Structure 1
Amino acid sequence: MRMKVCQQLLSRAFSHRGASCAFRTGSVTLDTGRWRCAPSAPLCSSSAQDRKSHPSMLKHLRAKIRSTGPISVSEYMREVLTNPVAGYYVRKMMLGAEGDFITSPEISQVFGELLGVWMVSEWMAAGRPGRLQLVELGPGKGSLMADVLRVFGQLRSVVAGASVSVHLVEVSPVLSRVQAETLTGTGGQEASREPDPADPAYRRGETAAGVPVSWYRHLEDVPAGFSIFVAHEFFDALPVHKFQRTEKGWREVLVDLDPSDPGRLRLVLSPGPTLASSSLVQAGEGRSHVEVCPEGGAIVQLLARRIQQQGGAALIADYGHDGTKTDTFRGFKGHRLHDVLSDPGGADLTADVDFSFLRRMAGGGVACLGPVSQRVFLKNMGGDARMQVLLRNCSDPSSRKQLIRSYDLLTSPAHMGERFLFLCLLAPGRLTAPPTPTGLKLDRKSPAPLPVAGFSELRFS
C-alpha cells in the first residue's frame, strides 16, 4: 500500500506540465571527482608544490604545532576546512566545474527530485503534520533543495495542508550567498547584528512560491518542530581522528613539522596513548587502521533526539562503508586527488563515512534503515521510471546522451552507484504495525509495518 502511494507521488510530481521534458545535467569527467576512491596512503610529508599558495594557513599551523606540539588529524581538518579567516569552506567556492569537486545534485536533477518524493512520502507516513521543516545540512549550491522544492510545488495539492519552511545549516559565507541566489533569486537578508540566542538565523529569504528560508551555523540553532533532515556529502567533511595499531597498542596519527624542513608538514604516530586513542577505538576492533569521527557521532545523536522527541526523519547520503575500510583520509583539488598536507586551506579534505559508527551512535531511540547503496536507493525510488519519462520527452540526441551518461554516473557500480550509501533515521513508531482491527470482522493476520520508500523496492504495475 505504501509503495502504491509513493508510486502515485512520483506519477503526479513528474507528470506536471513542462516538468517531464525539462532536465538539468552536469558536465563531469567520469574518472575524476571528489567521490573517486583513493588508494591508501602511508605516513607522509607535504610536497613543496603549492606551499606558498596560502601562507597564512600554513603559518598558523606551524605556530600552533610549535606552541602545543603535534596536533591530531581531527584538529588539522577543522583548522584547514573551517578556520574563520583562512578555512577552505569559509573563503573558497569549492563546488562545480570551477571548484574542486562536484556532487550528485549538480550531475542530475533526478537525484534531488527523488529525494523530494522521499520527503513527501515520510511526511505522509507521519500523519501529515501541519508544520513541516525541511532541514539540510551542508546544502552546497542549493541545487538539491531547489529540486526538492520543485517537487513540493508540483505536489502542492498533496502538501497544501502543511506550513512548509526551509532551514539550511551552512558555515560557509560564500556558499550561503550562492544558496540564497539559487533558492530566493537574491542574496537574502543577511543579519547585520550580533547573533541573538532567540533568533540565531544569520540569513533569511523567501522562495518565489513564498516558502521561507533561514540559514544557521549550527544544527542546534534550527527551531524545534517536526522536521525532515537531509545530509548529503556532509559527514565526510567532518574531522576524523586516525589511529594505527602497533606492537605497543593503539597510537594516534598526528600532524607535525618536518624537522628537515620546518616549512613542510608530516604525519607521525604518537609515542604513547592519547585520550582519543584510549576512548574512541572500540574494544575488539579487528582493523589495523581506524578513523573515528566523534563530531559526526554527536550530530547523529542530536538528530536522533530531535526525531524521537519531535517526530520526523533523517536521510544521510555519503560515500562510505559499513565498518570495513581503514585509511580513507584524502584531499581533492581541481577534481583530482591531492596530498592532504600540501597547500592547507587550498584543497578539500575528506574521509569515508563509517555508517556502522553512525548507526551505533544513533542508539535505540530511533529506527535505522540501511545503509543501502545509492544505486539501490535511486532505483527503489523509481529512478529508472523517471529516466524513461525524461528520455521520452527529449528529442535532442546530444541531450539524451548526456542524460543517460549522468544517470549512469549516479547509479553504475563502476562510478557512484556503490560508493555512496544511504542511511535513514525514523521516529520510533514509524515501523510499528498498525493496530489490529477489532469488531465483528477480525483480520487473522496482523497488518505489516509500512515499508519505507527507497529502502524497499518500488514496483510499477
Structure 2
Amino acid sequence: MLSVFKKLQSTPAFLNLKYRKTSFKFINNGEHDRSARCVPPSKTKKESVSLARQLQAKIKAMGPITVAEYMKEVLTNPVSGYYMHRDVIGETGDFITSPELGQLFGEMVAVWCFNEWQKMGSPIPLQLVEMGPGRGSLAEDVLRVFERFGAGNEVSLHLVEVSPRLSQIQAQKLCVKTVRPSKSSHTYYQLGTTATNIPVFWYNSIQDVPRQFSCYLAHEFFDALPIHKFQRTEAGWREVLIDIDPAAGSEKFRYVLSRTSTPASKTLIKADEKRDHVEVCAESGVILEHLATRLEEDGGFALFADYGHDGSKTDTFRGFRNHELHDALVDPGSADLTADVDFSYIRACTEDKLLTFGPVTQRHFLKQMGIDMRLQILLQNCGEKQKENLLLGYHMMVDEDKMGERFKLFSLFPSVLKDHLERFPVSGFADS
C-alpha cells in the first residue's frame, strides 16, 4: 500500500490543493453528540406543521407507530421529508461530514479503494458505488485520485440517492451535463458525464445498480436508516412506540411501550441479548443481505464510515438541528434524525458470505492510510489561509476528542478471498 501511496504523492498534478471551505468551530455535547458538530451562523427555525399533522392523523387512525415508521416518514416523506428538498450539510445546514472538511478524507478513502482493487488484479470495468453521497464531495475526491492513477477510463460512478435536492447538488458538483431519461426502461433516474467523460448514474435503491464488480462506499448512510427500539420488561421484550402526548397538546409526541410483543420484537431481538434496551435497523439488514449476495456473486468490496459501536450501546436515537442536539419528537421534518450503527449487526447479517474487518476508529484508519504524509505535502503547496483550513479539517477528522475516535470504519470482502487477504492484509485495518 505504501508504494501505491508514494506513487500518488509524487504525481505532479496531485500536489495541488483541492480547496474546500471549512469555517466551523467544534462543539462537544457528550456521548450523544454526532461528533464534530459545528456552530454556524444562526438561522431561522424551520416549521413542519404539515408533517406533524400527517403523523398525528396516522396515529389517531391506527394507534402508536414504531420509531422506524416515524423516522422513515420524517426523513424521506416525498413532500415534507427532511432530506428531500433542502441542502442539509455544511455551514448553513444541520451537520458537517468529513468529506466536507477538505480533500484529505476523500483522498485516503480513494487510496484505500484503489489499493484494494489493485491487489485483486484491477478487474475492469470497475463500478464505484456510493450509497447516500451527500453533496458529492467524497465521490469527487475518489474520482480525482483514480484519474491521477490513469484509471479514469476504467471506472463509472453510481450514486444511490433518494433526495431530489441532493441529487441536483451532486450533479452540479460532479458533472458538466446531466439528463433525466423519459423512458421507464432504465433503472437509473438521472445520467451525467464528468468533465473527463466518466459516466455518472443515479438510482433510488441499491437493487437498481447494475450487477458487476464494484467498490461500495457508504459515509454516514446507515446511521440515517430507520431503527426499531425495544425495551426489556418483566413481561418480556416490548417495542418502543411513538404516540401523541395528551398532556402537551396536539402537536407533541411521546414514547410509549407496546402492550404486548410485536412482530419486530419477536424477530429482531437475539435470544442471548444482554442489554435491556436495543436498537435494530431492519432496513439495513435487507440492504446488507443484498450487498453480500452481490459481493459473493459479482465480486468487489465495501467500506463504511459511520458513528457506531460493536453491539454495546443502547439508546442512541436523537435529532440534530443547527449543529446542536434536538429533541427527535419535536417539529418532525425540521431536524436530522440519527442512531449509532451497530457494527455487530452488520457482521451478523453478512457473516455467511463475507469477511468483515473492523470497526476501527477513523483516526486509526486515516493514520494508517498516510494522512500525515499527505498533509505535509499539501502544506508545502498552499497559502496561509489554505494552511489554516487544512489544519482545521485535519484535526477535526483525527483528534481523539473530535471525529477521530467517534467515527468508525468497517470493510467487507467476499469469503473466497480469505487466503488472499491473509497474504495481503486489508489496508487501514491492521493493528497499530
- Tell me which of 372, 376, 382 is aligned to 2:360: 372
In structure 2, the partner of 1:191 is: 181
Aligned equivalents of 1:254, 1:51: Cα separation in 2: 27
TM-superposed deviation, 1:400: 2.2
In structure 1, the partner of 2:324 is: 336
Instruction: Give the letter aligned to residue 8 of structure 1.
Output: S
Instruction: Give the letter aligned to residue 348 of structure 1.
Output: D
TM-superposed deviation, 1:393: 2.4
Q: Does structure 2 retain, via aligned residues, the 8 Å contact 1:20–1:393?
A: yes
In structure 2, the partner of 1:123 is: 117
When residues 292 and 11 of structure 1 are mapped into structure 2, their CA distance, relative to the original with a 3 A threshold, is: same
- Tell me which of 54, 60, 69 is aligned to 1:60: 54
In structure 2, the partner of 1:177 is: 168
Aligned equivalents of 2:77, 2:392: Cα separation in 1: 37
Are 2:13 and 1:22 equivalent residues in the alignment? no
Structural RMSD (CA): 2.0
In structure 2, the partner of 1:403 is: 390
313-322 or 272-281, which deviates more: 272-281
In structure 1, the partner of 2:213 is: 226
When residues 215 and 39 of structure 1 are mapped into structure 2, their CA distance, relative to the original with a 3 A threshold, is: closer
Deviations 1:289-334 (A, max 9, x none): 1100011111111111100000000001101100011100000111
Q: Does structure 2 retain, via aligned residues, the 8 Å contact 1:169–1:217?
A: yes
Instruction: Give the letter aligned to residue 237 of structure 2.
Output: W
Greater CA radius of gyration, 1 or 2? 1
TM-score using structure 1 length:
0.87
- Tell me which of 272, 277, 282 is aligned to 2:270: 282
Aligned equivalents of 1:185, 1:94: Cα separation in 2: 23
Instruction: Give the letter aligned to residue 427 of structure 1.
Output: P
When residues 247 and 97 of structure 1 are mapped into structure 2, their CA distance, relative to the original with a 3 A threshold, is: same
In structure 1, the partner of 2:37 is: none
SS at match of 1:19: helix
TM-superposed deviation, 1:395: 4.6
Deviation beyond 6 Å, 4+ runs, structure 1: none
In structure 2, the partner of 1:31 is: 27
Q: How does 1:354-393 map to 2 (within 5 A)?
A: 354-393=342-381
When residues 137 and 39 of structure 1 are mapped into structure 2, their CA distance, relative to the original with a 3 A threshold, is: closer
In structure 1, the partner of 2:40 is: none
Are 2:424 and 1:450 equivalent residues in the alignment? yes
In structure 2, the partner of 1:110 is: 104
TM-score using structure 2 length:
0.93
Deviations 1:406-461 (A, max 9, x none): 11110111011111111111122323149xxxxxxxxxxxxx52111111379xxx
SS at match of 1:175: helix
TM-superposed deviation, 1:105: 0.1
Q: How does 1:42-191 map to 2 (within 5 A)?
A: 53-156=47-150, 159=151, 163-186=154-177, 188-191=178-181
SS at match of 2:144: helix
Q: How does 1:234-313 map to 2 (within 5 A)?
A: 234-260=221-247, 261-313=249-301
Q: How many residues align?
A: 421
TM-superposed deviation, 1:13: 2.2
Q: Does structure 2 retain, via aligned residues, the 8 Å contact 1:169–1:219?
A: yes
Identity of aligned residues (%): 48
Aligned equivalents of 1:129, 1:314: Cα separation in 2: 15
TM-superposed deviation, 1:93: 1.4
TM-superposed deviation, 1:70: 0.1
TM-superposed deviation, 1:394: 3.2
Structure 2 unmatched ranges of 5 or more: 35-43
